[in-house]
Amino acid sequence: MRLALVAVGRLKRGPERDLAEEYRGRADALGRGLGFSAVQMTEIPESRARRAPDRCAEEAGAILAAIPPGAAAVVLDEGGKAVTSLDFAAQVGAWRDGGRPGLAIVIGGADGLDPGVRARADLVFAFGAATLPHGLVRVLAFEQLYRAMTILSGHPYHRGAP
């Protein structure tokens, strides 16, 4: 299964980027033995349109184009569903075992996401009701992907209640 993370904006050098790359590297290394590719990172330039709805619409076109055909799309949005790590891992495993060719995790820009991106989602996922900084969301996305792989492989990293 091909993995992709599609995010609006660039993550500048610093501790968030370093930590995101650490979890990305862990996911890449563990995922190979589980039938997953290395995570392809696509950074969508932030729109320069004047109005927020126009910015969201412009970014949506690029986001949707970056999601591979047939891939399951997980859209990260504060209004999404709260999903446990175990449930997320089970869903990723089900998509892989069900023959989905890919999984794309989507992080929107500062203005949020166009409704068309949410409509394309197989899962709209929230890390909580709070608005989080983009850099932390990227770290959390890579960490949860790595955690899902540890759960699928039986690795002891995830020690939460079964």
Question: Any binding-site annotation on 79?
Answer: no
For residue 120, the surrounding DSSP H or E stretch is: helix 115-120
* 2-153 homologous superfamily: SPOUT methyltransferase, trefoil knot domain (3.40.1280.10)
Question: Any binding-site annotation on 108?
Answer: yes
Pair of tokens at residue 83? 């999903």
Q: What is the pLDDT of residues 104-136, one digit of tens each?
A: 999 999 999 999 999 999 999 999 888 889 999
Pair of tokens at residue 125? 């996922």
φ, ψ of residue 42 in degrees (nearest 5): -120, 120
Check: CB of residue 92 under 8 Å from CB of residue 103: yes
Q: What is the pLDDT of residues 63-116, one digit of tens each?
A: 999 999 999 999 999 889 999 999 999 999 999 999 999 999 999 999 999 999
- Among candidate residues 17, 2, 6, 13, the one with its CA nearest the CA of residue 43: 6
Please state the domain extents for the chain: 2-153
Q: Model-level pTM?
A: 0.93
- Mean pLDDT for 7-17 is 94
Q: What is d(CA 147, CA 145) in angstroms, rounded to the nearest whole number?
A: 5
Pair of tokens at residue 160? 């939460």
pLDDT at position 161 is 58
φ, ψ of residue 99 in degrees (nearest 5): 90, 10
With cut-offs at 50, 70 and 90, classify the pLDDT of residue 27: very high
pLDDT at position 36 is 97
Q: What is d(CA 93, CA 70) in angstroms, rounded to the nearest whole number?
A: 16
- Mean pLDDT for 30-59 is 96
pLDDT at position 73 is 98
Strands (E), the chain: 2-8, 39-44, 72-82, 102-107, 123-126
- Mean pLDDT for 13-40 is 96
pLDDT at position 94 is 98
Helix (H/G/I), strand (E/B), else coil: 59: helix
Q: What is d(CA 80, CA 128) in angstroms, rounded to the nearest whole number?
A: 8
